[in-house]
Amino acid sequence: MGDRVSTGLPRLDELLGGGLLPGTLAVVYGATGIGKTHFGLTFAHHGLQADGVPGLVADLNGRGDSQQHVGYALRLFGWRLAPWRHTVIPMADPFPPAEELGRRLLDTLDWTGRVSDYQVATPGGPEFDWSWKAAYARRLDTVRPFFYFHFCHGSRRVVVDGVEPADEPGNSIQLYLFDDLYRTILHRDSEILGMEICLPVWQYREFIDSHRYDHRQITTLLLVTAEETLLDDLVAKRMGTGDIGAVANTVILMGRRTEGDRVGRFLHVAKHRGSAVSDAIVEYQVTETGLVFP
């Protein structure tokens, strides 16, 4: 993959000193309609050129497909993005049908709201309701194979979209789910993850060993909807407790600014650890062909 991961947008790669760093987390903040999904799909689809296969898209939106991933992907790239439906029940044949490996959209984790909405009071403090924990465990039977088998076949890019604004990021169920996904699946040792999915292990040991990948090369782009529409407000905003951007390697802000008698869209790289980064604020446009930097 080299020492940089191209976003598929040359002007942005220039701002980032060559692109994102492999294996890191980048968070993009911006209001609804600012172009985050276009950016994410560009990054995912560019995996076809960089890695030989496109990246993966996980939609956490719980209020319908407002992100329009399928329509955008088809219009922008002729990419027929389809939702993954393969579920691996413990001790059953784990391998997905060949056509499933062409499905690179995950829309299974559709909970929204606060973590506390899914918890109950106990003598030891708040705990997740048992029925929610059971439902989450069943969803993971679909989620884990989606990432594992695609990583086994070369995907190295993940885009997570549909994260809604949260007054208390530390109490957001969507950010809780993303954190769990990031720690226990995206950046889990491939052998261990394979052994958890492919049971009994002795029967599938050859596949697990021959399809090992380096989880440290999985680059993740998280798209977070912000309440602020103006770029200057995003730049001035302080990170709240539990905000994922505080621990991300890269933070990109997308917002509007007034230029004379018009309002334009602008982008700024607020943080990019481990590499030179430009302080520039650059204008872009959202067109029928995606994001364009004049």
Angle between helix 130-152 and helix 190-197 axes, rounded to 10 deg: 120
Q: 20: which DSSP letter? A: B
Residue 241 has pLDDT above 90, yes or no: no
Cα dihedral sign, 254-289-66-113: negative
Find all residues with CB under 8 Å of 99, minimum gap 6, and list them: none
Among 137, 162, 144, residue whose Cα is nearest residue 86 = 144
Provide the residue ranges of all domains of the chain, joining segments of one domain with +: 10-292
Rounded to two decimals, what is the model's pTM?
A: 0.95
- pLDDT for res 64: 61
Q: Tokens 């990432």 sit at which residue? A: 147
Identify the band that residue 1 occupies on the pLDDT scale cut at 50, 70 and 90.
Answer: very low
Mean pLDDT computed over 94-100: 95
Give the pLDDT confidence of 165-201 residue by residue, as tens digits: 988 898 999 999 999 999 999 999 999 999 999 999 9
| β-bridge mates for residue 220, sequence order | 25, 158
Q: Which residues of 156-182 are buried (b: 16+ CB within 10 A; e: fewer)?
A: bbbbbbbbbebeebebbbbbbbbeebb
Q: Tokens 């719980």 sit at which residue? A: 62
Find all residues with CB under 8 Å of 237, minimum gap 6, and list them: 226, 228
* 10-292: CATH architecture: 3-Layer(aba) Sandwich (3.40)
**Distance separating alpha carbons of residues 139 and 181, to the nearest angstrom:** 12
Residue 117 has pLDDT above 50, yes or no: yes
Q: What is the mean pLDDT of the chain?
A: 94
- pLDDT for res 63: 65
**Distance separating alpha carbons of residues 263 and 271, to the nearest angstrom:** 25
Mean pLDDT computed over 245-271: 94
